[in-house]
Amino acid sequence: MMRKFAFVLLIVSVLMVCSCATGTDINKKNRDGSPIWTTEIPKSSRLIYGVGSAKLLVPTNSQQAADATARADLALKIRANLDGSMAVYSSEASEAVSSAYQSVIVQSVNLTMNRVEVEQRWTAKDGTVWSLVSFRIKDLPELYADSANDYLNQLEELRILTLAKLEAELKAIGESDSAEVAQKRAQAQQEADSALAGINAVIAGMDIAGHEAGLLEYLTAQGFDLAQ
């Protein structure tokens, strides 16, 4: 019951920063001729928008800066959706697993930037360049799953490397009845066991399928149409 209640609160908390069901006609103009999206945050049931502006001495630089600012704005909104959908899971996880979730979220946002589209650009009379970019929300669960699986693969590789390192250290130490050698072997084994325990705990604690389903539910509850 508490989990469902927390889920509802999280939905309400991000309504101001995410794109929702009501669509905005991005081709609509303000009275001064500027695009509506320069004064009103665009909303869509299938896209998340980012808006940016810049005014530099060189027009080309202004456009690049405006695009970069818009992409940064979009990344924050995507991050807000991922953070919101994963907050319940993270609150119930260990510190190590929560940290792993954050790494996956960061990687997911980075991947979304490869699928960003520039919708429109507009230059004001004073030379300020405005940029509107978008990301198709239906791609987010897939990219999250890809990032999570990639992270787990990295952990598996780290586990293999840890075992290989232990084997090499034990071989270098050698075998002997001396107390010094026994102590070195025990220390190497203890360090490896500690590292492996941490890796295995994170692998066991991450529920990729459950989180992907939770993300789908979260986005749908906010009015996004994931079928488009």
Give Cα separations from 200 to 103, 157, 158, 195, 204 (angstroms).
17, 12, 10, 9, 6
Rounded to an integer, what distance in angstroms lies between the CA atom of residue 44 and that of residue 57?
34
Q: What is the pLDDT of residues 107-156, one digit of tens each?
A: 999 999 999 999 999 999 999 999 999 999 999 999 999 999 999 999 99
| Alpha helices per DSSP H over 24-176 | 59-91, 95-112, 140-173
Mean pLDDT on 177-183:
90
What type of residue is 84? G
Please report the pLDDT score of residue 195 as a whole number. Answer: 96
Dihedral sign computed on CA atoms, order 22, 72, 100, 95: negative
Domains of the chain, residue spans: 2-145+207-221, 151-202
Residue 27 in 3-state DSSP?
coil
Query: Model's pTM, two decimal places?
Result: 0.82
Which CATH architecture describes the domain 2-145+207-221? Roll (3.10)
Q: What is the pLDDT of residues 63-108, one digit of tens each?
A: 999 999 999 999 999 999 999 888 766 667 788 888 999 999 999 9
CA 214 to chain centre: 15
Give Cα separations from 79 to 59, 105, 125, 161 (angstroms).
30, 7, 33, 32
Q: Which H or E run includes 206?
A: none
Residue 201, classified by CB atoms within 10 Å of its CB into exposed (0-12), middle (13-18) or buried (19+), is: middle
β partners of residue 123: 129
β partners of residue 130: 53, 122
What type of residue is 190? Q
